[in-house]
Amino acid sequence: MILVEKPLGNIKDPDWSRKLEVAEVDLLHLDQWQAQKNRFRLKTETGVEIAVALDRGTRVQDGDILTWDESAGTAIVARVTLKEVMVLRIDAVLGQPAEILARTCVELGHALGNQHWPAVVKGSAVYIPLTVDRKVMASVMRTHAFEGITCEFVPGAEVIPYLAPHEARRLFGGADSTPHSHVYSADNQQG
């Protein structure tokens, strides 16, 4: 078993890209949920067992180089597979009078919240991760028939470059498992 405590680099880096052109690369496949963890054990395509133990708040990114043996010319590279994302475009609604805009946004928020779908708003697009079958999600949107809102599905890899890290975690990271506690003072007790 190989222990990885931090990525060595990423294949997007030109120096690493050149080194790996002639290397034998073994891939470690992760889905979007596994990639959000900082501690896990998996096997590569060739069966090499990898234990990843990263610092808190650090995550494996697609293309991260986990191991490199220069003398042997071998590397292990992470491949992260992201699910599709439903994208709602609200451009046409933005030009409407304030009352219509407010009503549409509240109704859209209610519809998404009623399904417990996390969402990220960037400009005039609303991104929602596929949490159920795409046919079901499209059907929910058709049922609500929001005027001026279009719906499409795109690969997660196309969306992630536009997201801040906390937004990517909301779409692709699953539930927050960070330990926390609630502290109440005598002045702020809840009954």
Please say whether the beta carbons of 68 and 20 come within 8 A. no
For residues 84-107, give the mean pLDDT. 92
DSSP three-state, residue 50: strand
pLDDT at 176: 34
pLDDT at 169: 78
For residues 98-112, give the mean pLDDT. 93
Q: In Å, what is the CA distance from 75 to each residue of 61, 69, 115, 120?
A: 16, 6, 42, 35
Among residues 80, 76, 79, the alpha carbon closest in space to that of 24 is found at: 76
For residues 80-92, give the mean pLDDT. 91
For residues 13-19, give the mean pLDDT. 94
Please give the structure tokens belonging to residue 80: 């992260």
Query: Both ends of the chain: CA-CA distance in Å?
Result: 51
Among residues 40, 29, 36, 34, the alpha carbon closest in space to that of 4 is found at: 40
pLDDT at 70: 93
For residues 14-33, give the mean pLDDT. 92
Among residues 130, 181, 187, the alpha carbon closest in space to that of 154 is found at: 130
- Residue 186 pLDDT greater than 50, yes or no: no
pLDDT at 149: 93
- Residue 87 pLDDT greater than 90, yes or no: yes
pLDDT at 181: 33
- Residue 21 pLDDT greater than 70, yes or no: yes
pTM over 0.85: no
pLDDT band at 128, cuts 50/70/90? very high
For residues 91-114, give the mean pLDDT. 92
For residues 2-8, give the mean pLDDT. 95
Tell me the pLDDT tens digit for each residue of 139-180. 999 999 999 999 999 998 888 878 887 888 788 874 333 333
Contacts of 37 (CB under 8 A, 6+ apart): 52, 59
What domains are defined for the chain?
A: 2-81 (2.60.260.20), 84-172 (3.30.70)
Backbone angles phi, psi at 97, to 5 degrees: -60, 155
pLDDT at 157: 80
Contacts of 26 (CB under 8 A, 6+ apart): 44, 45, 46, 48, 74, 75, 76, 77
* CA-atom Rg of the chain in angstroms: 21
- Residue 33 pLDDT greater than 80, yes or no: no
- Residue 5 pLDDT greater than 90, yes or no: yes
